[in-house]
A = this chain, B = another copy of it.
Amino acid sequence: MFLVTFAVRIKKQTMAQKPSIPKGTRDFSPVEMARRNYIFDTVKEIFQRYGFQPIETPAMENLSTLMGKYGEEGDKLLFKILNSGDFISKVDEEELLERNSIRLTNKISEKGLRYDLTVPFARFVVQHRNDISFPFKRYQIQPVWRADRPQKGRYREFYQCDVDIVGSNSLLNELELVQIINDVFNQLRINTVVKINNRKILAGIAETIGESDRIIDITVAIDKLDKIGLEKVNLELLEKGVSQQAVDKLQPILNLSGNNVEKLDQIEAVIGASTAGKKGVEEMRTLFDYLSGFELDTEVELDLTLARGLNYYTGAIFEVKAKDVQIGSICGGGRYDDLTGIFGMPDVSGVGISFGADRIYDVMTQLELFPEETVASTKVLFVNFGEKEEAYCLPILAKLRAGKVNAEIYPEPAKMKKQLTWADRKQVAFVVMVGEEEIAQGKVTLKNMKTGDQQLVTPEELIKILSE
């Protein structure tokens, strides 16, 4: 009989396997889901409040879309998908025996998993350009995958929450992104500081000190100022081939003081002769002027040491830190003047930020910021005492559900204690008990699981109480 053969097949496999998941990935339990959804729902609500609309893109993109967009290191960290079917037959012998994994990948893999949401979004905009009304304001909340070495707080599958506007140069967009940051973290009750810089200012600095072609080395080094200190940054710059003279010129710029406007004045005094530099200072003045019109909960700070690794940024750049927890940035982004150019649609400026849901989750867990009632559960459990009692309860249960009350019955007549423990672990608020006496009286006993109070009520009263 087939039930038997099936069991035999299972037995064989049992020996061979212990269940686990790939390192750097996670399962999410109902409690974790409820907390994560609390973050996602908050973020979505605020995004929509500012006029952004959701899109989604496939988990898999063509490797031609992804490769070369995240630097050499990024290419290595892409998860690649093996071509289906007989992928190896068309690879010639020489290539096989060469055993060059990178070159062989091109022959046996055409697709990769999404590495971030920005490049797929740029691809989306270009592909659907004729259906989009620009300026296009979209948000996107989806997982991304990176073959990074897993460690505490760093996963191979994690969610990004991106919000971008493309097709508008206005700095009003930068303002609104800062307002969004403020509103999200205000609602999540996380104290933050938003650090802002501008790539044009960095370009102006490089130009002023005569090292324009080393701007990437310089920004990467500056980015480490917080971590390794001024001395080591200077050393690194010299090692990279930046002249001593240029490094000397750089010093005052790395030691600015005062408030944001005062800092901008000092910067302008040094780099004002550079066109890019002057433009960058102007942009920042406009943004800080906009911001001065609002009372924000978050601090906003001009920070020249902020560079952000990604090369596609060309204007404002943002990074958000949680004040009460030692952790990397929990949100970041910036303006990119030509990201869609990669896909053949030049001159479309965009600006956006990305919220790191996993780090926000960690911050909120550490600071105990999740509201108690986030766990989605039923409001009431009917204890199951047996066939007759079950038959009495089922129509009442159906009426509760028809009235949109989340309600359930224990599926079998297990021991009372077991059923109550189950209800308790699931954080069910009320329990209904029906025995012979209740049936005889046409009533039910309702127990409040928190207070322990019990009352005998009619089914109609029950529905009224639980619908409140």
Contacts and interface: CB of A to CB of B under 8 A. Distances in A.
Interface of A: 1-3, 5-7, 10-11, 13-14, 16-22, 25-30, 33-34, 37, 48-51, 53-62, 64-65, 68, 76-77, 79-82, 84-89, 91, 93, 96-97, 99-101, 104-105, 108-111, 113, 123-124, 126-128, 131, 133, 135, 137-138, 143, 145, 147, 156-157, 165, 168-170, 172-173, 176, 179, 183, 199-200, 203, 206-207, 212-213, 215-216, 276, 290, 293-294, 311-312, 314, 337-338, 341-344, 346, 376-378, 381, 390-391, 394-395, 398, 401, 404-412, 421-422, 425-426
Contacts of A381: 51
A2 B219 CA distance: 11
A57 B21 CA distance: 9
A192 to B, nearest CB: 18
A341 B14 contact: yes
Contacts of A80: 81-82
A425 B133 contact: yes
How many copies of the polypeptide does the oligomer hold? Answer: 2
Given A17-B65, A93-B97, A30 B55 contact: yes
A294 to B, nearest CB: 6
- For the complex of A and B, 6 pairs with smallest distance between CB atoms: A51-B408, A25-B58, A30-B53, A2-B215, A170-B411, A84-B147
Nearest to A29: B55
A374 B5 CA distance: 49
A359 B172 CA distance: 42
A394 B381 CA distance: 50
A187 B353 CA distance: 37
B293 A168 contact: no
Contact of A61 (B21, B133, B409, B410): B21
Contacts of A173: 411
Contacts of A135: 410-411, 422
A259 B391 CA distance: 24
Contacts of A97: 93, 96-97
Contacts of A34: 54
